[in-house]
Amino acid sequence: MPDRNGFTEADVPDQSGKCFIVTGANTGLGFEASRVLAARGGRVLLACRDQAKAEAAMARIRHASPRADLAVLPLDQADLASVRAAADLAAREPRIDALINNAGVMFPPLTRTKQGFELQFGVNHLGCFALTALLLPKLAETEGARVVVTSSIAHRGAKIDWDDLNAEKGYDRYRRYAASKLANALFAFELDRRLQASGSPVAAVGCHPGVASTDLGRHMGALRILLSLVRLALNSAAMGAWPTLQAAAGPATAGGYYGPTGFREFRGVSGEASPTRQARDPALARRLWDVSVAMTGIDPGLPAAA
């Protein structure tokens, strides 16, 4: 039975006739969200970098839901050319009801994207920004369509180094990850403000998974060992996907932000979460928006809200 104190996958209604794009869908939160949406009758495009892993994920979903409507959407968010190709392919779908921006990297050694951006900012924010911008016209064809942007509790206390976005002067993997997650939150709120101001039928919704046990922590080293010891106190990947599911297919509101409702939003059923004041700062968000357009060369075409 659904948990009436919050949102879980049991609360996801029938999604027949709807289509969802889930980035990073082969593992972790993306896989779990895809599994539930497919089980509820939705068509799910698994937007993944690795074809074999995406096909393996589809096989796992079909094992539980033999009639699942699934397809692979090749996507490497570390390459803007791949992002453009994915958007072009996805736009051929009859409709898209939600773009779930879930893909991300966490704490890698200093690495650069195809276009030379620091990997965490490039994949977690710029790739998300570019894919969303390119798909907005398609999303706008469907009344009530949503863009979901996944942030993290790591955005608390984060700071974007505007003078060194490409980490050419220094690189702290933890601070860079937190900055990318602050960027996600800023983007979600700014996107929704601009969509509403333009009269678009599309809504933007933010979410975060709390502290979930997923493959995202593969670069955590000793910290990963510590997390394995407290695994029982964390969200499972399935639980961590509940805020994503609420944002994409539940009773979410435009401009909303959802996450676990337990202690410090670490774990538990999904509900309204608390972004920082910085994450809601319109001036900071406008600066990020302008920088993102300049870096990607992709403009969503939405003027700033008055």
Cite the active site residues: 177
- Encoding tokens for residue 73? 């959407």
CA distance 42 to 15: 5
Please state at what angle helix 173-198 crosses helix 282-296, rounded to 10 degrees. Answer: 100
- Encoding tokens for residue 95? 């409709």
Q: From the CB of residue 30, how many other CB atoms can be counted at a distance below 10 Å?
A: 27
CA distance 189 to 212: 23
Please state at what angle helix 28-39 crosses helix 242-249, rounded to 10 degrees. Answer: 50
**Torsion angle in degrees (nearest 10) through CA of 46, 52, 57, 59:** 110
| CA–CA–CA angle 10, 124, 53 (5° rounding) | 65
**Pairing of the two strands 98-101 and 19-23:** parallel
Q: Which burial class, exposed, middle or buried, applies to 231 when counting CB atoms under 10 A from its CB (0-12, 13-18, 19+)?
A: exposed
CA distance 97 to 45: 11
